[in-house]
Structure formats: C-alpha cells, structure tokens
C-alpha cells in the first residue's frame, strides 16, 4: 500500500515537473470528452438492449404488460439506489449546479456509474424520462474525479466538470455546439479564453468518437420539412408564445407534483407503487408516454405518426377533434408521467420529456392553424416546437436552437428556430425568474449566475468575515468601568452582552465621548442606560446578499451577529466585507 502511494506521489511530481497546467487541462479535456462519449454509448446501448428484450420477447401481444414493466423498472432502480448506491442521485443537473455554486467542484465517485445504471433500468423498462440528465451528471463526475486524482486546484476541477457536461451532451446527441452552449447557458459557467478551448475539445472529441461508435447520421433524419418562408413569421411567433406558456405549465406542474410526492407519501414502497401504478395507467391510456419518446418524435417530424390506434381513444373514431384532444391530453400528462417515474424511485431527466412535449405542441398548433385555414408545415412546427419548449423549461434558447439544428441537420430552419426559441424564452421570463434546474437552488440562495458581483457575495459567508475579537461590555457596568475598557480597546464599538451571552444592545464611543472625561458621572450612568439598539441584527446563517441589503438599508458600518438562540457571536463590518469581496473578485475573475 505504501509502495503504491509512493509511486502515485512520484507520478504527480513528474507531471508537475514535465507537464504544465495548461497542457494538462487540454489533455484532460480530450480524455474527458472521449470517456463521456463511451459512457453515453453504454447508456444508450443498455436502454436499447432492455427495450429490445421487453418488446420482442416479453410483451409482443399483451399490452397489459406495458402497465407492469414501468413499475418493475422503477422498483429495480429504487432498489439499486437504496441498497447499492445508498445516496440520492436524482436531479443530476441541479447537483452539478450546486457543486459549481458552492465552488466545491467535487462530485462523488459513484456518480461516474450509478446514474448510468439506474437510468438505463428506469428508461429501458418504460420510464417516461430522459437519459440526458443522468449522462450529464456522469460526465461531470468523470471530469471532477479525474481532476481530483491529479490533485488539480478547485478552479480547474470546476472547468473539468464543465468539460464533462459538454462532452456528455455532445456525445449522446452528436451535437458539439449544443454541448458547449449547454454548459455556458444551463450550468451558468463563464466563458473565458482559458475555458473555451477545453470545452470545445471535450465537445468535439465526444462527438467524433460518437460518430465512430454509432455513425455520423443525425439523431432525427428529416424527410419532409419545408424551407423557411417569411410570411409564416407571425405563426412562428404564436408558436413561441404557446411554447412559453406550456413551459410555464411544465415547470409549475413539475414542482407541485414533486412536492406532493415528497410530503404526502413517506414510505419508499408506497412511492414506488404510486409512481409505478400511475405511470402504467397513463401509458395504457396514452401509449406514446412509454419510454423517452424519441420514436414518437421521429414519426411526428416525418409525418408518419399514428398516435391513437393503440389507445382506448381509438374507440371514439378517427375524428380530427378526437386526435387534437388526445394530443392535448398527452401534452398535459407528460409532466405527470415524468414526475411519477422519478417520484416513484426511478432516475431520469426532463431533457427528453421537454423535446417530446415540444414536438406535440408544435404538431397541435399546426393542426389548429390548418383548421383555421392557415397552411403551415406540421414537420417544421413540430421541430421548432422542440426548441421552443426546451428554451422555456431550461431557460436556454441558444441550446434549444443549436441542439435541434444538430439533432436533425435542419440548419435551413435556423430562422424559425431562433424566432420560436427567443419568443418562448421571453414569454416564460414574464412569469419565472429561474429554469426548472436552477429553481431549487435559487430558492435556497445557493445559485451561481453570470452576475459576478452577485456570485462573489454568494461565495462569501458570515463566518468568513465575522470579527470575534471585539471587546464586549455588560449592561450593569458603570461608566467608570466602561472608561477603563475603552482605554484598552482599539475599536469604537462595544456589544452589550448579558451574563447568558445574549445581545442586549450596542454602545458606540461617539455616544459617550462627551461624558467619559467627567469623573463625577462615573457612578451615575450604567452601560444599560447608555447603550442603543443596533440598526439591524444579523443571523449566522444569513446569505451575504441579505447582509449587504441590511447594510445599505440601515446605513450602518458595523452590525452584530447572533445564533439561533439569540446569543452574541461577533461583529461584521462593511470594511471587512469589502476586503474579502475584493480578494474573491480577483480570484473569480482570473482566467
């Protein structure tokens, strides 16, 4: 063991001596990109293998099995997570955002494989979620742990997390630009010249290896899209608004249902039965909800769809209104199926559900316009609807634009993609401030954004600027005793603390300066009579943004800090905050 450690230390020393930091980062970004591509290939292969076994050998003619299998998949995934992983691996992209926001840059080693296995089981058995969030967490974990093994600093580890995420998206979708843009838009990483090259290398290497492993064809092959026409711009704007409003429904319904599962069902087994049963029932009524839904998307954008024939709705006939109502119900229930899968114990993301829902929103809007006598191409609307819903749900219009263009090879539709994505994003921003991924962290004040001033404040904590060497005084102390304390102190502020350690008030030197040189008053006044109430009192767990708001609102230069029991802890001064802020800002801004 000692010999292994010595060899490892010698290897690190050799690397530090012969390979510069910049060279190592570029090499690692290449390795991370390739590993992410392999991980994406393994995940897709596992999903396809499980689906092949189920659909060809176990459920060929009996559709009732599609009620059972999703529950089995959720149960197996829940057992795997509970007994093998023994850690929460849900909300993968939110976990990456948290790691970046806290500048810890450490993602657990088991995330390099645990999300991959659990999501393959979940989706392979019919879970109505996507594999993209798990593979992004896998890629980020690969980057983080490689950097950790090589003892790289925190900032480089953060960059490797970004490379892992970019490589994962590029690898699973064969979309290098989308991988880069996703990292910048969704993970909120700043683009600098230092970070651009590694992110590009990771994205391109992941895509190149995916071409080798799975071929160079785009994920969705287009057959019958029409060229962009200027006179259809108003209808693309309408679609953008519809996508934005649907995104609002998707986000709020998702959050409400997640809270319901969390607070109303405590037993893991009840969650599995409830989630699996609900998902199975929805799939029986709406078969397109089975699995990721990519086959349905392919059929829709190429005009080969037959959504209703295997559903009980087929009994109502082939009326166009029956089809439209059926599509609308699928749009409304997709988020329910998604949360039922994850809430029941399955593992998956909202990437694929947002694309699936967007394609149906585009199809429904096109059909309604056609009924009104307005000719619009269904394939085009379905395709750009995918971009619009992704832009709204993830607050990532550029990711939506480039991903759909690269997924389909539909570069001739850049104009409608930009119109719909931008309109959807503007619409959702009227109602929500954060994406579905970032919302959980934003509510806790833990979200890092592109605003560097705000980022620096969020990286600061009260404990890092707390001054505990301030001399305190007791309420019953007389003026004469106070003068002796003032003579030995180097500050002009004195917290008044009682025998139980609780803050009673503040005493400022300026308040007693006019009487402190009058010995005849030394016995007459006590500290309790001379003290004043502080302009504000800070809590030890208060976010630094709130602290600065209180400083600005009160105009104070020093404020006391107490714990949850109201006991005095120390003083925070504005000058100390500014000093710490400058140090962090320099570090944060370095390339």
Identify the H or E element spanning 561: strand 558-562
Stretch 470-480: mean pLDDT: 89
Stretch 174-200: mean pLDDT: 83
Assign 191 a pLDDT band (cuts: 50, 70, 90): low
Torsion angle of C-alpha atoms 346, 351, 357, 361, degrees rounded to 10 = 170
Q: How far apart are CA 271 and CA 262, in angstroms?
A: 9
**Summary mean pLDDT of the chain:** 86
What pLDDT is stored for residue 579 in this prediction?
A: 75
Closest CA to 92 of 153, 135, 122, 49: 135
The DSSP-derived string for 244-272 is HHHHHHHHHHHHHHHHHHHHH--SHHHHH
Tens of pLDDT, residue by residue over 195-240, are: 789 999 999 999 999 999 999 888 888 877 788 899 999 999 999 9
Assign 102 a pLDDT band (cuts: 50, 70, 90): low
What pLDDT is stored for residue 213 in this prediction?
A: 94
Stretch 495-501: mean pLDDT: 90
Q: What angle do CA 29, 219, 429 make, to 5 degrees?
A: 75
572 SS3 class: strand
> Is residue 433's pLDDT more than 50?
yes
Structure tokens at 346: 């399955």
Tens of pLDDT, residue by residue over 546-582, are: 888 888 888 888 899 998 888 999 999 887 877 776 6
Stretch 28-37: mean pLDDT: 96
Whether pTM > 0.85 for this model: the answer is no
- CB-hemisphere CA count at 13 Å for 335? 21
Q: Pick 341 or 543 by higher pLDDT.
A: 341
Query: Tokens 């230390």 label which residue?
Result: 9
> Is residue 589's pLDDT more than 70?
no
> Is residue 318's pLDDT more than 90?
no
Neighbours of 299 (CB within 10 A): 16
What pLDDT is stored for residue 451 in this prediction?
A: 47
Q: Pick 464 or 51 by higher pLDDT.
A: 51
Q: Which domains does the chain have, with CATH numbers?
A: 17-214 (1.10.3080.10), 230-447 (1.10.3080.10), 455-589 (3.10.580.10)
Structure tokens at 169: 């998206």
Query: Tokens 């593979």 label which residue?
Result: 135
What pLDDT is stored for residue 240 in this prediction?
A: 97
Between strands 493-497 and 568-573, the pairing is unpaired
Q: How far apart are CA 401 and CA 259, in angstroms?
A: 31
Contact status, residue 365 vs residue 151, Cβ threshold 8 Å: no
């Amino acid at each position: 063991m000692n010999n292994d450690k010595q060899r490892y230390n010698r290897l690190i020393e050799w690397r530090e001596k012969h390979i510069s930091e910049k060279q190592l980062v570029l090499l690692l970004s290449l390795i991370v990109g390739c590993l992410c591509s392999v991980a994406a290939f393994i995940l897709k292969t596992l999903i396809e293998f499980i689906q092949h076994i189920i659909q060809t050998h176990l459920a060929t003619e009996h559709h009732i099995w599609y009620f059972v299998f999703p529950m089995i998949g959720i149960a197996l995934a829940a057992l795997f997570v509970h007994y093998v992983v023994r850690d929460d691996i849900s909300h993968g992209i939110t976990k990456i955002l948290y790691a970046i926001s806290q500048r810890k840059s450490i993602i657990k080693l088991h995330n390099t494989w645990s999300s991959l296995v659990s999501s393959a089981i979940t989706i392979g058995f019919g879970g109505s979620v996507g594999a993209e969030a798990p593979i992004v967490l896998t890629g980020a974990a690969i980057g983080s742990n490689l950097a950790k093994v090589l003892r790289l600093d925190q900032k480089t580890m953060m960059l490797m997390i970004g490379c892992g995420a970019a490589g994962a998206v590029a690898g699973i979708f064969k979309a290098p630009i989308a991988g880069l843009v996703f990292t910048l838009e969704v993970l909120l990483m700043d683009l600098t010249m230092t970070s651009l090259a590694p992110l590009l290398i990771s994205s391109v290497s992941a895509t190149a290896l995916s071409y080798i492993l799975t071929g160079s064809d785009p994920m969705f092959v287009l057959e019958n899209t029409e060229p962009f026409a200027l006179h259809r711009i108003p209808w693309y704007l309408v679609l953008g608004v519809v996508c934005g409003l649907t995104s609002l429904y998707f986000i709020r319904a998702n959050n409400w249902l997640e809270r319901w599962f969390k607070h109303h069902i405590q037993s893991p087994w009840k969650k599995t039965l409830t989630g699996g049963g609900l998902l199975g029932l929805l799939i029986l009524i709406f078969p397109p909800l089975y699995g990721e839904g990519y086959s349905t998307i392919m059929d829709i954008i190429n005009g080969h769809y037959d959504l209703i024939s295997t559903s009980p709705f087929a009994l109502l006939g082939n009326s166009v209104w029956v089809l439209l109502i059926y599509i609308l119900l699928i749009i409304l229930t997709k988020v329910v199926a998604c949360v039922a899968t994850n809430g029941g114990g399955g593992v998956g993301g909202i990437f694929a559900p947002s694309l699936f829902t967007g394609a149906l929103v585009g199809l429904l809007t096109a059909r309604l316009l056609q009924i009104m006598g307005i000719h619009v191409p269904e394939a085009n609307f379905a395709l750009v609807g995918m971009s619009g819903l992704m832009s709204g749900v993830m607050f990532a219009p550029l990711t939506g634009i480039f991903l759909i263009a690269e997924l389909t090879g539909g570069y001739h539709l850049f104009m409608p993609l930009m119109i719909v994505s931008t309109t959807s994003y503007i619409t959702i921003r009227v109602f929500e401030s954060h994406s579905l991924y970032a919302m959980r962290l934003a509510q806790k004040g833990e979200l890092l954004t592109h605003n560097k001033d705000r980022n620096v404040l969020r990286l600061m904590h009260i404990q890092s600027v707390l001054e505990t060497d301030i001399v305190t005084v007791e309420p019953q102390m007389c003026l004469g005793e106070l003068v002796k304390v003032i003579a030995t102190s180097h500050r002009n502020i004195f917290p008044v603390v009682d025998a139980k350690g609780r803050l009673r008030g503040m005493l400022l030197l300026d308040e007693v300066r006019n009487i402190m040189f009058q010995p005849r008053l030394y016995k007459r006044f006590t500290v309790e009579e001379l003290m004043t109430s502080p302009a504000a009192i800070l809590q030890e767990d208060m976010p630094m943004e709130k602290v600065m708001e209180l400083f600005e609102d009160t105009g104070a230069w020093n404020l006391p800090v107490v714990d949850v029991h109201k006991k005095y802890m120390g003083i925070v001064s504005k000058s100390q905050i500014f000093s710490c802020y400058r140090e962090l800002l320099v570090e944060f801004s370095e390339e």
